[in-house]
């Protein structure tokens, strides 16, 4: 799991309140596990992420640290049950005065491209009597960051089919969380979990996420460097979900370039990098990003042609998509679902498309009833079966890009000691037979 800063109380957030928390007992004993080897087994009473909530005894072993930072620590472990399923455990310090925003948000999320919260529990630690929240999450073996870095080390471009597949699922995840009012606020390759065998992507780490409320101010110093939308750099506190769309656009550009498109050691430095490509923002564009910004001293720089930014063999559709999400005006950027309908993703709508390993694509058109209510006018394009024209549209896209995916390098494999749960690829929103599936 990737890291993010511990969520701080935001202006306008609810007042401090005493949170009723049940502190479970935690034991550690040596028991034979499923493979017959004696290992230390940790037993906790955890709350299930289900309705109604219920207390469940959880046993796990093989605990090892896979990430840490100011936010807390992330572990990988294995459940001591018949499944032996790997899990991720995110442990964060809990302020007893407040409810935990990350937990509140994760309990509302149910989507195949969002990492699933299975259980959670609180533990108190001596000597300061600190309280820690532990989130037990589904485990996904790799990240877009690590896979992209492997390609970069080999001086190879990530195959277009993977760029399409990963960014499409990212936009789909954003469409879902935005539809229920959640802004992630820390989209970056490290927070995009993937199973390289199935091609499934899951958005993770909601430690910086927030339900955005119109008129309620938010902190502008949010989101990781390289991926921050320009309105954040301009100090806007009334931004919208479109900051996630900008970040997704920078991820798309990075996968095609092999390196971050807007590197910078500071906000000013990063703004300079953005201006080098997009040109100097007009007074009107600055007002669109932050109406309260009053300093307009910028050198006049013309926009750099997008076609000169990327490799010659980069699909023109990809460049067009980048140009429509990396836009100064937040309201002028595509919505996540509009991005999903872009022609760059037409190959994914072709039922004959396969992964380079010969396996079928993971489900990309199994839209839930909820998803089909977000922007209904886009449904025919999102799910071509509804219009009966999927074959004509997608076969053309496949032929256009056939050369780019003929013999792509095999993606780096996941660590051998942990395998992915088979439930990943088939997970869908409960009781949500979709119009696409019914067709």
Helix, coil or strand: residue 193: strand
Asked whether 249 and 325 are in contact (CB, 8 A), the reply is: yes
Asked whether 316 and 324 are in contact (CB, 8 A), the reply is: no
**How far is 295 from 176, CA to CA, in rounded Å?**
36
Q: What DSSP assignment string belongs to 415-436?
A: PTT----TTTTT---TT---HH
Up-side HSE of residue 12: CA atoms within 13 Å toward CB? 12
The residues, any chain, with a CB within 8 Å of residue 45's CB and separated by 6 or more, are 24, 25, 55, 56, 57, 58, 121
Residue 186 known to be catalytic: yes
From the list 35, 129, 186, 346, the catalytic residue is 186
Is 210 annotated for ligand binding? no
* Residue closest to 248 by CA, chosen among 302, 191, 292: 191
* Residue closest to 328 by CA, chosen among 299, 287, 296, 366: 287
Give bridge partners of residue 91 from the DSSP assignment.
73, 134
User: In terms of DSSP H, where are the helices of 218-304?
Assistant: 230-233, 242-257, 267-278, 283-289
Asked whether 75 and 61 are in contact (CB, 8 A), the reply is: no
The catalytic site residues sit at 186
User: What are the binding residues?
Assistant: 91
User: What are the binding residues for ATP?
Assistant: 91
């Amino acid at each position: 799991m990737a890291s993010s800063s511990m969520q701080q109380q935001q202006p306008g957030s609810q007042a401090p309140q005493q949170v009723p928390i049940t502190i479970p007992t935690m034991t550690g004993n040596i028991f034979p596990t499923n493979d017959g080897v004696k290992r230390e087994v940790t037993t906790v009473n955890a709350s299930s992420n289900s309705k109604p909530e219920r207390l469940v005894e959880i046993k796990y072993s093989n605990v090892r640290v896979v990430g840490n930072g100011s936010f807390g620590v992330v572990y990988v472990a294995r459940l001591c049950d018949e499944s032996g399923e790997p899990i991720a455990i995110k442990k964060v310090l809990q302020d007893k005065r407040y409810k935990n925003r990350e937990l509140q948000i994760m309990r509302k999320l149910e989507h195949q491209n969002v990492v699933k919260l299975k259980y959670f529990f609180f533990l108190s630690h001596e000597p300061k009597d600190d309280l820690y929240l532990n989130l037990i999450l589904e485990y996904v073996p790799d990240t877009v960051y690590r896979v992209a870095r492997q390609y970069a080390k080999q001086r190879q471009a990530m195959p277009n089919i993977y760029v399409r597949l990963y960014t499409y699922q990212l936009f789909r995840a954003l469409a879902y969380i935005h539809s229920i009012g959640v802004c992630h606020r820390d989209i970056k390759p490290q927070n995009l979990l993937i199973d390289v065998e199935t091609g499934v992507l899951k958005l993770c780490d909601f430690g910086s996420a927030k339900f955005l409320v119109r008129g309620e101010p938010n902190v502008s110093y949010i989101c990781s460097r390289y991926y921050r939308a320009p309105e954040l750099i301009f100090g806007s506190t009334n931004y919208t979900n479109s900051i996630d769309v900008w970040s997704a656009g920078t991820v798309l550009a990075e996968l095609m370039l092999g390196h971050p498109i807007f590197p910078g050691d500071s906000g000013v430095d990063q703004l300079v990098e953005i201006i080098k490509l997009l040109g100097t923002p007009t007074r009107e564009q600055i007002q669109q990003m932050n109406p309260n910004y009053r300093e307009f001293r910028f050198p006049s720089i013309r926009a750099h042609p997008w076609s000169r930014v990327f490799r010659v063999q980069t699909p023109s559709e990809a460049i067009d998509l980048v140009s429509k999400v990396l836009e100064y005006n937040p309201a002028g950027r595509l919505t996540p679902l509009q991005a999903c309908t872009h022609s760059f993703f037409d190959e994914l709508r072709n039922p004959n498309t396969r992964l380079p390993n010969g396996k079928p694509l993971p489900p990309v058109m199994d839209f839930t009833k909820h998803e089909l209510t977000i922007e209904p006018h886009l449904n025919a394009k999102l799910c071509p079966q509804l219009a009966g024209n999927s074959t004509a549209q997608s076969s053309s896209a496949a032929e256009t890009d056939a050369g780019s995916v003929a013999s792509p390098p095999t993606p780096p494999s996941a660590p051998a000691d942990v395998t992915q749960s088979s439930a990943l690829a088939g997970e869908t929103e409960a009781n949500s037979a979709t119009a696409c599936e019914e067709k």
